[in-house]
Amino acid sequence: MNDSRRFGRPEGSGHSPDVNIRPPASVIEAIADGLSLVLVYPIVVLIPLLVEASLWSGVTISPESFLQRWSDVREAAETLGFDTDIAPVLAIGLPSVLKSTDRADVFSIWSATELSPDSWQLALATIVGLALTSSMLAMIFRVPMAVIIRNERRSPSQVARAVGVAWLRLLALVALIAATIVLIASPLLVVSAFFLVAGLNVAPLVVATLIVPAIAAAIYLTFTPDAIVLSEVGPIQAAYLSFNVVRRNFWPTLGLLGSVLLISEGLSVLWRSQIDTPFGLLIGVLGNAFVGAGLALAAMRFYADRLRIWRPEFAGSDRSLDL
């Protein structure tokens, strides 16, 4: 591997300033450019629209056999909205207005078809299959965006290979996160159990103690998926890049996250209020896909601009967004 791309390179070993690198886009500029890019490359909304069409088709998948066998997870499933239908798992990682909407509130022209796995093993296999498919769809959605941000031209075979590599790296990232959670939570659960035997329930205190670190980790690692597809690195180095970009741009990053949350959640309320009519459904699905893709591109633009100042070899061309 080229030394300039070696993980863990000391900050002082660095790069001479490039006078041709323009200042990073502000939060507003990044969002505006992201939405503009969707108009230039409308193909980026294809995957979200296909998933919305799948959810609107009316096919529901009941997890009841799994929940009956593993009743402890029922409360979590109810909290996530997957207690009666696990089909929306397909939309995780994609902009979707239908994944969080009750089908009774959505205009339809036929009755729903419910699929109910007979055994908990089949239900579990269905959940895993949907999760793997959703992660692949997320990479099919995001990799072409990364190509746009990097201002590259790639053949379909090159894009397909990049999608496959990014998908495997995303799965590795999920596995690392799960392992980290287990590693941290296991001793805390053991300690909580000892206190519980002694008559003290410290579980709420343990949960409260973990909230702040969990929020901090979510903020500092927010660009990790973007780093996987845009910088084309593995999960550990992607986390390293995300952490350092956020550390160097903490308040602008908070501004971006707050703006994205406000726009996406605010508009989703509007979309959901209109999808009980044919025209409202069409506008809601198209509008949500457009805005969702634009915000995803905005986050990539924000990350790439700031990464380019620190580690330009991971950020691609500086000409990527000459709109």
Residue 99 scores a pLDDT above 70: yes
Question: How many C-alpha atoms does 31 have within 13 Å on its Cβ side?
Answer: 16
pLDDT top residue among 113 and 323: 113
305 contacts 24 by C-beta, under 8 angstroms: yes
Nearest to 247 by CA among 228, 226, 219: 219
pLDDT at 137: 97
| Distance of alpha carbon 305 from alpha carbon 310, whole angstroms | 9
Pair of tokens at residue 227: 């780093």
SS3 of 253, please?
Answer: helix
Domain ranges in the chain are 22-314
* pTM, entire model: 0.85
pLDDT of residue 21: 62
Closest CA to 64 of 33, 43, 88, 85: 85
Helices (H) and strands (E) counted in the chain, each on its own, are 11, 2
- pLDDT, mean of residues 86-104: 89
Assess contact for 121 and 67: CB atoms under 8 A: no
Q: Which helix (H) or strand (E) holds 257?
A: helix 250-274
CB 271 within 8 A of CB 210: no
Question: What three-state secondary structure class fits 17?
Answer: coil
pLDDT of residue 205: 79
The answer on pLDDT for 1 being more than 70 is no
> pLDDT per residue over 151-160, tens digit each?
889 999 999 9
CB 315 within 8 A of CB 304: yes
Give the residues across from 114 on adjacent strands. Answer: 60
Model pLDDT, residue 76: 66
CB contact at 8 A, 38 and 290? yes
Tokens of 58: 């009316």
Task: Band the pLDDT of 317: cuts 50, 70, 90.
Answer: low
The stretch 32-58 carries a mean pLDDT of 95
